[in-house]
Every structure is written in C-alpha cells, then in structure tokens.
Structure 1
C-alpha cells in the first residue's frame, strides 16, 4: 500500500474532493444566531492548525461513525508528514481489527486484542482496497484525517476572505478551545455523480476545535444521510512511530 503525500494548500487539499462528492451538498448546516466572521487574531489561529499537526508528526485520533447501518469505532494514530494512519477498528460486540490507510488505499488486518494496535505494524495478513470516500462514511473520515497536515501554515489573507465563522468558546478534556466553522470551500461542492449513495439531500459542515496555540483538539464532520456528525478527538503521541511501506 503506497504512502500518502504530505499536503499543502490553503484549506482542505485535493484528497477531500472525493469526500466532498459523497458527503457534501449545497450550503452548510445552521450555525445559530451567535456565529460571526473571524477576527484577525482568529484567522491567524485557524490558519496554523494544519501546520501544528504536521509539526507534531504523529497524533492519536479516536472517533465512531455509522456506515451502511454498522457502527465503527476507530482508535488510531495519524502520521501527518507521511499522510498515513494506523490503528484499530472495532464493531461493538465483535473483535477489533488492525487498520491502516493512506490517501490511496485502506487495509484491515488480523483481529487485534483490546488496546493499542501492535507496533511495528505487521508486515503480512492484510486485506487491501482503494480508499473510497465517495462510497463510505468510514473512508470519508479517514481521508479527511490524513489531509489535516501541511508543511506550511494556510494563507491567512485567503482564509480571511472565506465564509469561515467563529461559533463559540468551549473546552475539550479541560483545555479551552475556540470552535470555528470551516470555510464552505472546505466542505461544499455540487455532487458530480447522479444519485450519490445515502446523502438524502443533507447539508454539510466541518468544525474545528482549536486551542490557544492553534493545536486542533477536535474535528466535527457533518455527514450525509440525516446530517450525522462524526466527532474526532486528537491528542499528541510524540513517542509513536510506524511505517506502512512494507505492508502486503
């Protein structure tokens, strides 16, 4: 399974175009009456989030998502410079399996015992397929996650010209954060395929929960088909390293 490329660009980069085709239709979900445009300081804060992920290297991500009626619970690490993820995926009541992905492919391995995925990743026993965010909510979230690193900050001048919004002040695990709605250019594009699967005309939105140092602590994605939200929590994992280049 080939390694993903590191991403640049001003907002969510090209990999998410396939995600957009599946998840996102027409405008954004309502923000309420208290949302407002970003201040200069808030633009700078949001513009650094992808660079902070890239600079951190590897971070742990946890989320759950329902895909075709099945709930998947993922506990994984994302190597942002490499554009790759590795961890476990579980269906409640069943054994968890190892999971690995890049921008091109996703693979599942043998059942994994409770706890973190084994390091280094096993070289054998994987079943691989293309990453298909246009067909699967799970794949869509995986694709977005590896897009969240950039080796340079986003351009604050361009970001200030978008419709990104301040939503509120909040906290994640005791850390104060600012919650932003991402630009609609991150999230909204006309679906190009006829009868996209299970979107039901839903609108879409991406929300970033950002600390005072621009660290991204939580990401919320509004998915199609009833506007289900996937909530991804991120924490640093400075001692974790993994290499997916030998998977087969």
Structure 2
C-alpha cells in the first residue's frame, strides 16, 4: 500500500465524497442560517489548511455498518495522507489503515483509550485485507474519504467560499470552546446572483473555533448526520519499512 497525496480543489470536493454514498455541546438559539460574511469566509477558508498544518489529529465517530453500530477511534495525518483507526463494536476489533486510494483492515487490540496498536503493523504482514477506497461502495468508505479530505496544503479561496453558498448556521460550544457552525458550500461554482443558498443542500457541516481549527464535522450519511469529533494533535503516521 503506497500513501498518495490527497488532492482536492475546494470544500465542495469534500461534499462530492459524501454525496457519493448517500465532548459536550451546548447550542445557542439565535437567528436562522444566513450567508457567511467576508470575515467568516476567511475563517472557513483556512480550516482545512489548519488541519494540514497540524499534521495529525485524533478523532472519534460512530456509524452503522450493515446495521451494526461501529465506533471509530484513531488519527488522521493529512500531511502523510494516511488515516489509522480502531473499528470496534459487537465484533472483534480491527485496525483500519487508509490512504486516498486504498483501505486495509487487520485484527487489533486497542489501547485503554480505544486507539489502535502502534506502531502500524507491516502491511506485508499476514492478516491484512486491502481493497479500493471507493466512496460509492459504502457509507463507511465515504466517511473515511471525507475525513481524509478535510485537510489540504493551502487555504481555500475565501471569495469563492462566500460566492458558492457557504452558510453560517449558528454558534455553539464544544468542551468549553466557542465555535461557529457552518454549512460547507454545496458547489465549487459561484451561485447565480438571484439564488439563495439552502442549508439542507450541503451534506457537510463544520464546527470551527475562532482560530479556524475544526472541532467537529457532521456528515450526512445513511439519511442522518454522523458527527466526527476532532481532538488533540496525534502521532505522525507512516507506513512501516517494507510496506507497499
């Protein structure tokens, strides 16, 4: 398995991955969704770059896989274009290792916090099962691909973010940190001058703090919203020597 760079052109590309498969929170009631201001567009435009600049971050989420509740706990390293997480539930825990092209699974014993065993087992080791990471194949694969696409090596174009329909939905608090909840642009093209953005048109919501750091992403999968919570910086991920 060879890690390859994630190449994405804009926030709307992240949404395409979602559409192919289709801490405590205290929300504060206020006015309804509205178009982002120039300042908010600037904040949203740096979010994926902030992830990439952080290198690796911990995340946790849960998703139903063929009717089975599955918890994912791990890390995503946007600079290395790799993700590594424990998949656990009413089955033997597995470690998932994915790039933008492939995903592999191997039995694992998670640590006390639910993270997969480190270092990453050699991918030539018996027990690994690899396949193409096709977002259209399953909601799980769409979720993994979306998580990988939430980091890139340059900021998005803030003017295009604003023109293509990004919305400010509301404010909130995650683990004591104030955030703004955005609906990502549903397209990477500017909207018609007379068009109004629809908050239900975007399958991706981003919970962003005042520094542009992503605290949570909500992805619309399986006809419901799946929350992915991001935590502290994680270990840098790399394929073992001899991995292919």
Q: Report SS of the residue matched to 1:144.
A: helix
1:37-76 equivalence runs, <5 A: 37-76=35-74
Take 2:163 and 2:227, find their aligned partners in 1: how far apart are those partners? Answer: 27
Instruction: After TM superposition, give the deviation of residue 213 of structure 1 in Å.
Output: 0.1
Match of 2:104 in 1: 107
Match of 2:221 in 1: 223
1:153-168 equivalence runs, <5 A: 153-168=155-170
Q: Give the gaps of 5 or more residues in structure 1.
A: 24-31, 187-201
Of residues 76, 82, 85, the one that matches 2:83 is 85
Take 1:168 and 1:121, find their aligned partners in 2: how far apart are those partners? Answer: 39
CA displacement 1:21-44 (0-9 Å, x = unmatched) = 322xxxxxxxx9711111111001
Take 1:113 and 1:235, find their aligned partners in 2: how far apart are those partners? Answer: 18
- Contact in 2 for aligned 1:12/1:148 (Cα 8 Å): no
Take 1:203 and 1:44, find their aligned partners in 2: how far apart are those partners? Answer: 21
- Is residue 117 of structure 2 the alignment partner of residue 118 of structure 1? yes
Q: Give the gaps of 5 or more residues in structure 2.
A: 23-29, 189-199
- Is residue 132 of structure 2 the alignment partner of residue 130 of structure 1? yes
- TM-score, length-normalised on structure 2? 0.83
- Contact in 1 for aligned 2:15/2:202 (Cα 8 Å): no
**When the two structures are aligned, how many residues end up with a matched partner?**
220
RMSD: 2.1
- Contact in 1 for aligned 2:166/2:183 (Cα 8 Å): yes
Take 1:52 and 1:18, find their aligned partners in 2: how far apart are those partners? Answer: 20
Q: Report SS of the residue matched to 2:5.
A: coil
1:158-237 equivalence runs, <5 A: 158-185=160-187, 205-224=203-222, 227-237=223-233
CA displacement 1:45-67 (0-9 Å, x = unmatched) = 10000000000000011100112
Q: Report SS of the residue matched to 1:112.
A: coil
- TM-score, length-normalised on structure 1? 0.82
Match of 1:149 in 2: 151
Cα distance, 1:147–1:87 mapped onto 2, change above 3 Å: same
